[in-house]
Structure 1
């Protein structure tokens, strides 16, 4: 079994190679650290670099300003501190990264401008697995400040139950919660808060809307969902459908109530 120290050493040596050092150069520099002035023979032994190559490796490291060499006999060398030795390399990489970021930003602007000129606007959404969906519902319920609207079938109802404690708290804090349950759902007042405004209809797709901005749509298999952050066209369409269904339900309930009153007067 490989020890943690061995794994860490390999990661450090790999990092040195990514910084531009060869395998032998990385090993020699790493084994020089913390030893002060030592002979070329000693460093060849501790770094497992062939003695025939150690002098050429040390000279390469000297040219890269990573070691200091005393050319008196016996030849002695020591490492330059990593912070000092790699400062120029770090600056070089940082300049490259900053330049790449600027290039990517310019490319993104070109892409967005081209799409706008064609009347196209790019939007993104996230696909969550079942476990992440449950956690995201709990998180969004907890963070809601104004409203939670949902259309849910029995599967969505099961997921909602996982956030019952958060629902109670957000309702107490003033968030309005309206849920249209599928006719097949069984609402349990002992599990979900009484303060939830609820209606019933035929619901096939589970949709949650938080603060009129975050929207979570569950697929029918119940294995994943789509999380959309938007206050534009897609969300407004879904919200209008919710409001229409909610208001139609109220009208139907009013008609039923009027019918019952009429029958009682006969």
Structure 2
């Protein structure tokens, strides 16, 4: 049950919303008054909570007197929540893009020194597997100095690694050009302590990924410009830093956690420096290094 509650929290559901939905799952239909009592939600908040989980597609309402509330199946509820998050993320990205366009236009017309330069794009986005892959390979092919990469490992990573051929071929070519590459892998666990059994399983999965990288793409300890480590927990946000001045922010697909479904490309040396410092601190103090396969 705790795992289910944690999952709902990652999907931005409030504690009261979680209580109400789980209470309805264990009941048939209930009135707002009954729910308030059973789920221990204050009477003054119950209707706001019901509206919240209704908007996220988690309950059905019978328009009787009084109204009756019923939980929809967990499968539909999960998909409803994830779809809601996808919609919200898309709205946020669209809003940011609109703001960026306005700011860029204002800067072009201002007397600031960089307005006289060719403005170009300082951001771009990519949605979908192929556009995201294309963006990554393009930027990696332009690297001249350094690439700091974050990535995640699941039970399916070894199986889907062949799909990353364009990405890892570009990384290999960058290493051969003299670019220094660090890859920091993570596992999908929060900040709570990870059990020893899970740590052992993580290590097995990690070695499986290393072997697959070597077999498929020739990425191994023989490459002087490559360093690889891992941590036993997840990153709040996955991002890569390119040549200390560009950041690629990656968004996982909630419906297919093995995929990155969107990427925000930001050319900002200040942001890149701040995230690089954070990355290197994690690399030095928390990341685990084991020998790469030779």
TM-score when scaled to structure 1? Answer: 0.45
Structure with the larger RCO, 1 or 2 (CA within 8 Å, 6+ apart): 2
Structure showing greater Rg: 1
TM-score of the superposition, structure 2-length normalised?
A: 0.41
